Amino acid sequence: MYDIIIIGAGPAGLTAAIYARRAAKSTLVIEAKGFGGQIIKTPDIENYPVEQHISGLDFATKLYNQTVALGAEFIFEKATSIKDNGKTKTVVTPKSEYEAKAVIIATGSESRLLGVEGEAEFTGRGVSYCATCDGLFFRNKAVAVVGGGNTALEDALYMADIAEKVYLIHRRDEFRGEETTVSRLKERENVEIIYNSTVTKLIADKRLRGIEVTDKQGNTRELEIRGLFVAVGRIPENKNFGDIIELDASGYAVSSENCLTKTNGVFVAGDNRGKEVRQLVTATADGAVAATQAVRYISNLNI
């Protein structure tokens, strides 16, 4: 039996593990994929205090190493449910069951699909959700990035250094992401911003050859591109926990400012939690808050 099980090894979960271990609690982190979460897809982090520039992968690696050095244990399995046994909780995976006094759900979010026909078929054959992972495949070729948030802006800037031409396609005439990044993009000669438009068709043979873009007036335009980077937001990964925590209409976990949920001993942290600001710094802050609350909860449990 562990004191605290943390589900998810992104910035929120790993920070929770640091705080749990520094409170001398036995800590197991259960992660379905690899450590780091979505931040490993970010090429350059410029808004985290102290570090002026750091890649998402370097950030996540440092954080993971710090957690391991403090003695957190890791298991790479997918948590499929949580059972509430009263004073303890059981986290179920396809391989086993793990018991703890408290559980922190820090599962983050997954990429939202664009919803255009052929998207799944051509994922890995021109369609990508990660510019830092796949960008180099498109060196000196034309690519498009879809979306208007920070991810799309940063992906477009990253691809501007690699690709011959970058089209940034946004469905409105105003970006959601940071103005400084928009200004930098506008200075790049090989970046063309296409406003008020959506991707309506993939043009492909064995792999992607182009896209059709349609504006709000219904005018269409074909772009010859080899890579399409989809950056249209995220979906919270809470679907396995809807019975133990309350979810809002968009699937985000309903919790208090202290990361408490409707179930005593179950806490949430990071991007899967309903909140206004989803940034790296707020994810790590959530991790600290959730772990501190879990430690407090355990000390009152008397088991």
Residues that bind ligand NAP (CB under 6 A): 42, 45, 47, 114-115, 146-152, 154, 171-172, 176, 198, 231-234, 278-280
Cβ distance to ligand NAP smaller for residue 83 or 221: 221
Residues 6+ apart with CB under 8 A from 277: none
Q: Is 130 a catalytic residue?
A: yes
Cβ distance to ligand NAP smaller for residue 22 or 234: 234
For the bound state, the minimum distance from the C-beta of residue 271 to ligand NAP, rounded and expressed in Å, comes to: 7
For the bound state, the minimum distance from the C-beta of residue 216 to ligand NAP, rounded and expressed in Å, comes to: 12
Cβ distance to ligand NAP smaller for residue 84 or 192: 192
CB 235 within 8 Å of CB 135: no
Q: Is 44 a catalytic residue?
A: no
For the bound state, the minimum distance from the C-beta of residue 103 to ligand NAP, rounded and expressed in Å, comes to: 24
Using CB positions, name the residue nearest to ligand NAP: 149
Alpha helices in the chain (DSSP H): 11-22, 56-69, 131-134, 150-160, 179-187, 280-299
Question: 270's torsion region: left (phi>0), alpha (psi -120 to 50) or beta?
Answer: left
Catalytic position from the list 44, 58, 84, 134 = 134
What DSSP string describes 21-82? Answer: HHTT--EEEE-SS-TTGGGGG-S-B-SSTT-SSB-HHHHHHHHHHHHHHTT-EEE-----EE
Cβ distance to ligand NAP smaller for residue 282 or 292: 282
Q: Which positions are annotated as active-site residues?
A: 130, 133-134
